[in-house]
Amino acid sequence: MLEGKKILLGVTGSIAAYKAAILVRLLIKAGAEVRVIMTPAAKDFVSPLTLSTLSRHPVVMDLVHENTWENHVSLGRWADIMLLAPLSCNTLSKMASGNCDNLLMAVYLSATCKVAVAPAMDEDMWHHPAIKRNLQILTTFGNIVLPVDSGELASGLIGEGRMMEPAVMVDWLKDYFSNGKPLSGKKVMVTAGPTYEPIDPVRFIGNHSSGKMGLAIALEFEKLGAEVNLIIGPNSLDIPDSLKTIRVQTAVDMLAACKSVFPTIDITVMSAAVADFTPTNTSQQKIKKSNSTLSIALTETKDILKYLGEIKKPGQLLIGFALETSDEENYAKKKLVEKNADLIVLNSLNDEGAGFGHDTNKITIFDKLGNAQYFDTKSKKEVAVDIVNSIIQLL
């Protein structure tokens, strides 16, 4: 339930603003404390009196009241979550660019709580690249973008763009607040680290993966309540005992571990740098120097992500990585399709602070609808938060 949860509702100028009244009523009924901020345009669509009566608190709209500056900005510190519903195209654009021309924007820009938005617009507007870009920008700020519904729109058109129904939004908030663990009950598998393919008892083919990115993702999932299975190649990381961990050496071991865990899994993130080739034969004895050159026959390993993409069932989410050094976006998009993944997380070795070994990474996330979310260079912990947020949005 939402008992005692402090919800700051931002209402903007959209036909769907009438639904804010229903939303406030449901939130209060669920035990939440609600404060409402409206943009000046919103009052053309729903009366402040209605919202203040339902929320049992005055609705605020202006930074200045009767020649006195009112510090409503502190509302962003009071709230457990700030929810902008409906979010109009105009306010979305201001949020993306940091425009501060009304109280709602001042509160948003200074809010220390989590921010979620429920967009509402006409279908053609919803599909405009500017809207997609602005929503992606919001995601990179760590804001949560709730999905829109399909159906009859104010314009008379039928299509995507309707604001999420208030009752569904309340259920979403209940999930969100379930001990701050929105992923409780979800089973997750994360692969991480390199694989080592043995040439002989002392040598192997490996790569520079440290496993740090995969571990950060696993820990973020665990923090949000998921039951996590980490399948990790050789590394020197300290892995907390709380994580159910299968340690593997080779690509064959990793495949076997994934096969055994995958059937009951809801979300899989394949961040491991699996060797693409393994020695066709492993020498039982140390190979001695005899010639000045040595040729080792290699056999391609099975692509685990691709295999899981072939057997995944409806409802199972599959997220892959793409580590590239050239033509990055094209290769990443190709991997998304060829491996039947739901998201591909691209990191390029050309970006400073990205890829192997660093404590930072710089990623772009591609989805099946052709959207790309670009993120700045961040610590791997923060990157893990962005990746898991994007997955939560898919859920």
- The interface region with ligand CTP, picked from 66-74, 279-287, 301-309, 350-358 by CB under 6 A, is 301-309
Kindly tell me which of 53 and 340 has the beta carbon lying closer to ligand CTP.
340
Tell me how far apart the alpha carbons of residues 177 and 184 are, in angstroms, rounded to a whole number.
11
By CB under 6 A, is residue 305 in contact with ligand CTP? Answer: yes
In the region spanning residues 275 to 294, those forming contacts with ligand CTP, defined by CB under 6 A, are 276
Kindly tell me which of 19 and 335 has the beta carbon lying closer to ligand CTP.
335
Smallest separation (angstroms) from ligand CTP to the CB of 212:
15
By CB under 6 A, is residue 304 in contact with ligand CTP? Answer: yes
By CB under 6 A, is residue 272 in contact with ligand CTP? Answer: yes
User: Which of helix, strand or coil describes residue 322?
Assistant: strand
Q: Can you read off the two tokens belonging to residue 208?
A: 């520079």
Task: Answer whether 165's CB lies under 8 Å from 150's CB.
Answer: no
Smallest separation (angstroms) from ligand CTP to the CB of 237:
17
Q: What DSSP state is assigned to residue 164?
A: P
- DSSP E strand stretches across 266-351: 267-270, 277-279, 298-300, 317-324, 343-348
Tell me how far apart the alpha carbons of residues 352 and 258 are, in angstroms, rounded to a whole number.
32
Tell me how far apart the alpha carbons of residues 27 and 21 are, in angstroms, rounded to a whole number.
10
By CB under 6 A, is residue 267 in contact with ligand CTP? Answer: no
CA 277 remoteness from chain centre = 32
Tell me how far apart the alpha carbons of residues 26 and 32 are, in angstroms, rounded to a whole number.
9
By CB under 6 A, is residue 80 in contact with ligand CTP? Answer: no
Q: Which of 10, 194, 233, 320 binds ligand CTP (CB under 6 A)?
A: 320
Q: Does residue 207 carry a catalytic annotation? A: yes
Of the residues 90, 207, 340, 371, which is catalytic?
207
By CB under 6 A, is residue 84 in contact with ligand CTP? Answer: no
Kindly tell me which of 196 and 321 has the beta carbon lying closer to ligand CTP.
321
The size of the interface with ligand CTP (CB under 6 A), counted in residues, is: 16
In the region spanning residues 229 to 258, those forming contacts with ligand CTP, defined by CB under 6 A, are 251
By CB under 6 A, is residue 26 in contact with ligand CTP? Answer: no
Q: Phi and psi at residue 235, in whole multiples of 5°?
A: -165, 175
Kindly tell me which of 122 and 220 has the beta carbon lying closer to ligand CTP.
220
Sequence letter at residue 223 = K
Kindly tell me which of 127 and 259 has the beta carbon lying closer to ligand CTP.
259
Residues whose CB falls within 8 Å of the CB of residue 201, separated by 6 or more in sequence, listed in order: 283, 284, 285, 286
Q: Can you read off the two tokens belonging to residue 109?
A: 């820009």
Sort 165 into a burial class: Cβ within 10 Å, 0-12 / 13-18 / 19+. middle
Q: Can you read off the two tokens belonging to residue 112?
A: 């220390």
Mark 191-230 with x for binding to ligand CTP (rule: CB under 6 A) and - for no binding.
Answer: x---------------------------------------
**Contacts with ligand CTP, residue ranges (CB under 6 A):** 191, 251, 270, 272-274, 276, 301, 303-305, 320-323, 335
Residues serving a catalytic function are 207
